[in-house]
Amino acid sequence: MKLLSSAEIKRVITAAVKAGVEYDEVDIRADGITFRRPKAQSGSDYDDWKHSESRSPRR
């Protein structure tokens, strides 16, 4: 897989800004682009991780 061209990346970021997407980081990979939302001001990175939706429960 190859990375997206600079023009494609700029087009996606411009569209996201026009749509009002709030983000702190942009992750560009061969399989796509991910916009990371601003972190919640909950106190610490541990608190954010502990309450994240992506964390699976322990068994």
Q: What confidence category does residue 59 fall into, taking pLDDT thresholds of 50, 70 and 90?
A: very low
| Averaged pLDDT score across all residues of the chain | 80
Longest CA–CA separation in the chain, Å: 46
Q: What is the pTM of this model?
A: 0.57
In a domain, residue 30? The reply is yes
Q: Name which of 24, 48, 52 is nearest 38 in CA terms.
A: 24
- Predicted local confidence at residue 16, as pLDDT: 93
In the chain, the percentage of residues whose pLDDT exceeds 70 is 76
Q: Name which of 57, 9, 58 is nearest 32 in CA terms.
A: 9
Domain extent at residue 28 = 6-50
Distance CA 6, CA 31 (A): 15
- Count CB neighbours of 27 within 10 A: 10
In a domain, residue 38? The reply is yes
Is the pLDDT score of 14 beyond 90?
A: yes
In the chain, the percentage of residues whose pLDDT exceeds 90 is 25
How many independent structural domains does the chain possess?
Answer: 1
